[in-house]
Structure 1
Amino acid sequence: MDYCENIREMIGNAPLIIVRPSVAIINNRGEILLSRYSGATWGIPGGILQLNESVEDCIKRNVKDGIGIKINDLKLFGVYSGKELFTNPEEGEDEYHTVAIGYLCTDFEGELRPNENIEAEYFKLEQLPEEIDPFIKSKLVVLKGIL
């Protein structure tokens, strides 16, 4: 059982603050790697920080385990929190507030090999899928202006 599951067992459905490091992976063609779980919206790869883990190690672990890419170098892009990152669940579901730590990566290796639960695909920043998380989309607009 991971850290959040242990805390959830103690507090039930009460709001939980989670730290979610994420990474915008840009290939040499200027395309961004987006991923999603079956039926979910597209977003950037990341995971939930575990106890005694650095945010960088969390990203590297989740990207390697989830989509098969080895991250070599990360650059901090931004830290985000606020009402737009609060999940307002259906009755009986868990409440959580996310603190997102965004990184940018152009130095990576390996072939895209998503596990059986994840879809992953490169997209042009000008042609993002319609089923993208609105918060992520707003941050990618900023990223497009930087690249």
Structure 2
Amino acid sequence: MELGETTEECLRREVKEEINLDINSLQLFGVFSGNELFTRLRNGHEVLEGQYFNLNEVPESTNPYIKEKLNQMGPKIIQLLRASQ
């Protein structure tokens, strides 16, 4: 996050830098941090591949903490996605 940058601005910038997607509409519904989310990628720090999954079909290999948060936040995520259509 850059000095003076909002969380939403940071998200837009980072997503554009990492996977070249533009985010138009977004709503912050949570900030999660801590040791449970620390990941050291095999290649250092770059994202090599991204995939989308149905909230009901998250791969078994997904970090258990992330899966728990998706289960907790799933209804809110679905509500936000429907509202943006």
Tell me the TM-score normalised to structure 1 length: 0.40
Q: Where do 5+ consecutive residues of structure 2 fail to align?
A: 39-45, 79-85
Per-residue deviation, 1:133: 2.3
Higher strand share: 1
Q: Structure 2-normalised TM-score?
A: 0.64
- 1:123 alignment counterpart: 53
User: Is the aligned partner of 1:59 residue 2:11?
Assistant: yes
Q: CA RMSD in A?
A: 2.3
Q: Which residue of 2 aligns with 1:68?
A: 20
Instruction: Say whether residues 1:138 and 2:68 are aligned partners.
Output: yes
Aligned counterparts of 1:117 and 1:139: Cα–Cα separation in 2: 21
Percent of residue pairs identical: 41
1-side partners of 2:32 and 2:11: how far apart? 16
Higher relative contact order (CA 8 A, sep 6+): 1
Aligned pair count reads 69
Alpha-carbon shift at residue 65 of structure 1 (Å): 1.2
SS in structure 1 at match of 2:18? helix
The unaligned stretches of length 5 or more in structure 1 are: 1-48, 90-115
Letter in 1 for 2:14: N
